[in-house]
Structure 1
Amino acid sequence: MDFMRLLKSVEELLYELVTWILFYPLTFWRSVRHPLKTMAYAEKELDDVQQEQYSDALSPPIFLLITLFVAHLFELQIASSSLASLPAFFADERNLLLFRAMTFSIFPLLFALTRLRLGGVRLTRKTLKPAFYSQCYVAGPFVLAFDLAVMLANLGSEFWPIFAAALFVLALTWYAAIQTRWLMTANGFPVWRAALMALGTIIVAYLLVLSVAAITGIVALRSQI
């Protein structure tokens, strides 16, 4: 009986992993092509019973986590030398992935908090979840482009930093435009106010990511001494 249960668990795990291979690019494309619709979909699906949620897409946090894993694979291929210079704590790739997941989740978290504050909604785990889930979908493409831009900027050739800067500006423009439209739609803000609020939130999130990275790096280096 225990052996059959184990086989059933392996079967379900294998099927889940295979569906990720199929639904990840589909979810990524939908997030880029129809971001606002995808964000609305993320919130709407939470009203379904748990077994029926996200039946034709990846769960938003899983989507963001896989995107960070994809970025990590790119780094192993094109910027492996930069990994060697990291503190010993990040030598374990699990620690590095967990760190990236926590830090880059700051972007969807801050926008989710912004939504609750503007809507006058009390902050609880239940009220935060829909807004955070919807933000994970649009954070994925932005985070991937952001991470790739950082990797390419550190390559030796003179061409790559220029390409990295162009990629970063393109990703930032796309992300800011989506958040501006989202604030205009959800709160009825004029475009100038929505754009300023979107850019302000992105800047604060970026500064927090840098702060967390710096503090973690200092702590990791001190632990080696």
Structure 2
Amino acid sequence: MDFMRLLKSVEELLYELVTWILFYPLTLWRCVRRPVAMMKYAERELGDEGEEQYDDALSPPIFLLITLFLAHLLELGLAVPAQASLPAFLQDDKNLLLYRAVAYSLFPLLLALLDVRHRGVKLTRQLLRPSFYSQSYVAAPFVLSFDIAVLVGRQGFGAAVSLGIAIFALGLAWYCGAQIAWFTTIRGVNAGRAVAMVLGTVLLGFAAVLAVLLATALSAGPIS
């Protein structure tokens, strides 16, 4: 009986992993093409029961984690020599992946907090979840564009640096535009105020990522 349950678990895990191959690019395309619609979808699906949630897309946190993992694999595949210039604790692949997961998750967290604050609801884990899930959908393409921009810029010649800056600028413009559209069309925020809110929070996100990097660098040695 235990063996049959184990086989069933393996079967479900294998099916889940295989479906990721199909639904990851579909989810990414939908997020890039219609970010606001996918943010609404993320909130709406939380009201469904169990396995019915996100039945035609990846769940937002899983989508974000897979994006971080793929960006990490891309860097390993390119064998970027500049990784040696990172702090010692980030030269370990596990530590670097963990750092990225924590640091980049600060963007959807901060925007989710902004969303909750604007709605004027009490800050609880349950009420924060819909905002965080919706923000995770749009954070993933932005994070991917940021990592690609860094990888391209590290190639060490002028054209690559310019291309890296262009990719970063496009990704940042898309991300901020999606956030502004969300707050103006869905939350009813005045356009000028929405721009100020979004830009301020995104800048805070970059500062938070830097703070995490500095704090980790000053802590004890690499995670064993």
Place the TM-score, normalised by the shorter chain, in its bin. over 0.9
In 2, the alpha carbon distance for the partners of 1:192 and 1:103 equals 28
Partner residue, 1:213: 213
Misfit runs of 4+, over 4 Å? none
**In 2, are the aligned partners of 1:109 and 1:132 still within 8 Å (CA)?**
yes
Q: Contact 2:80 / 2:151 at 8 angstroms: preserved in 1?
A: no
CA displacement, residues 59-100 of structure 1 (integer Å, 9 cap, x when unaligned): 100000000011101111235323334445334433322221
Structure 1: how far apart are the matches of 2:100 and 2:91?
13
Q: Percent identity?
A: 57
The normalised TM-score by structure 2 is 0.94
State yes or no: 1:174 paired with 2:195.
no
Which whole-Å CA distance do the structure 2 matches of 1:179 and 1:79 have between them? 34
Shift in Å at residue 153 of structure 1? 1.8
**Which 5+ residue runs of structure 2 have no aligned equivalent?**
none
Which residue in the other structure is 2:29 paired with?
A: 29
1:88–1:220 CA contact under 8 A, matched in 2: no
Tell me if structure 2 keeps the 8 A contact 1:87–1:220. Answer: no
Q: Distance in 2 between matches of 1:102 and 1:207?
A: 14
Q: Which runs of 5+ in 1 are unaligned?
A: none
1:162 aligned onto 2:156: no
* Contact in 2 for aligned 1:142/1:171 (Cα 8 Å): yes
Contact 1:111 / 1:135 at 8 angstroms: preserved in 2?
A: yes
Deviation per residue, 1:87-118 (Å, 9 max, x gap) = 45334433322221111011100110001111
CA distance in 2 between counterparts of 1:85 and 1:8 reads 46
State the distance in 2 between where 1:117 and 1:53 align. Answer: 26
CA distance in 2, matches of 1:74, 1:89: 20
For residues 13-44 of structure 1, the C-alpha deviation after alignment (integer angstroms, 9 at most, x for no partner) is: 11000000000000000000111110000000
TM superposition shift of 1:189: 2.1
CA-based RMSD: 1.7
Change (3 A) 1:79 1:194: farther
Give the TM-score normalised by structure 1.
0.93
Partner in structure 2 of residue 3 of structure 1 = 3
Whether the 8 Å CA contact 1:149–1:168 is kept in 2: the answer is yes
Q: Aligned partners of 1:141, 1:124: CA distance in 2, in Å?
A: 27
